[in-house]
Amino acid sequence: MPQRWRDLVVTLVHLALFAQLGVLTRIYLDKLFATCKPGPDFGTCLTSEGLKHNTLGAYFTDIASNMLGSFIMGLLAAGATLGLSSKKEIAILPAKSSWQSAPELHIGLRTGYCGSLTTFASWEYSLVTSLLGGLGKEGGQWTEFLWGMVIGLQTALSSYVFGQYCAMLIDRYITPGGRAEADLEKMAAMQTADIQASRAGELTDAEKALQMDEYETEGPSEPGFHYKTHIGAGILLALSTALFLALFVLDNSPKHISRQAPVSARGRWLAVLFGPIGCTLRWTLSKTNYTLPGEWKWLPIGTFAANMLACTVNYFIGGTSSHLGKLSMWSTIVTYAIRTGFSGALSTVSTFVAEITAQFRVLPEKLHGFIYAVGSLFTGALLGVIIYGSMVWTA
């Protein structure tokens, strides 16, 4: 097999494995923070789905997942993203660590796990259902809609930045080889260099680091070590897939609650299996980031397209479910799995806030970060009003 195809297969294996873990983590975090009913399932009742009045709709169900995923994304930032003098792909690891030269693992952690743990589409869906009054017949809650936008964006951004600062502290005081003077010198010159690159229509260093396609690393290359990790990832993926398939077939306990109706546990496991499909599509679309011509070269069009596509899928599913009324058991399971697994992993907040933060570095010279953030949120909401609103208003 040619090396190019071998690398692609290894990358897809890492994406699929970590996407499953990301979706699974999100499902149980949502369950932990949204469960309010008495019973054996513990829950803190801090978030809601925005489908009814006075239900904390602004504190949407996936807010905890978005915060955690964004924090981990910042914690796993590269040295170039943090403005460090080293060329480390993961700043919190030693420069000579073998893990520094494992790009498939980096993509799996950032794009696979963090990207699938966070979800832009479910966030927007909760906001739109709040705006339209849940089922479209109870009156809108526009204050919860606006408040949910503000809270969702600020908590994700602050979590990502806090993760970056934690990574810088770990690199300086815990990881061997911290170089304070060199780092301070580079940080002082970084903003000027970013502004100059922006003026010339080029990508900044932080935006280049987010691409993760071409980079240099200080980590050693150990073919034997990486071969073992690739084999291990493949074995883990096969075992996890077999486990979730078995659970999907055998586990029919009616304990899981979806956004609109009770779902048997099969919906949960099917969502985990659908996650790698959405994640792989998002990773493929990310190859088009920063490829638009002219003045729009700064726009990560691939991430934007993935988020809007996932929102569209969710709106069609939610609108169709409301229009048809009560669905059959299998229809409920499949629609839940598509919305939570496929769309949840197709859309991302961790990469979204990482791109916004990188664009903020050229403020006040350029307003790209604000345009991208506000434009994405309101475009997703507009799609919801057009698609979901038109379907529930005629139900």
- The 10s digit of each residue's pLDDT in 215-271 is 444 445 556 667 788 999 999 999 999 999 999 999 877 655 444 445 678 999 999
Nearest alpha-carbon partner for 338 in 23, 111, 58: 23
Q: Tell me how far apart the alpha carbons of residues 100 and 380 are, in angstroms, rounded to a whole number.
A: 36
Amino acid 287: pLDDT: 95
Q: What is the DSSP letter of 76?
A: T
Beta strands in 197-347 (DSSP E): 256-257, 262-263
Question: What are the domain boundaries of the chain?
Answer: 3-393
% the chain with pLDDT above 90: 54
Dihedral pair phi/psi, residue 48, rounded to 5°? -150, 175
How far apart CA 106 and CA 89 sit, in angstroms, is 8
130: enclosing H helix or E strand = helix 120-131
Report residue 32: phi and psi, to 5°: -65, -45
* Model pLDDT, residue 53: 45
353-392 in b/e form (b: 16+ CB < 10 A) is bbbbbbbbbbeeebebbeebbeebbeebbebbeebbbebb
Interval 32-75: pLDDT, tens: 887 655 555 555 566 555 544 444 456 778 999 999 999 999 99
Residue 169 has a pLDDT of 92
| pTM of the predicted structure, to 2 decimals | 0.87
Is the model's pLDDT at 206 over the cut of 90?
no
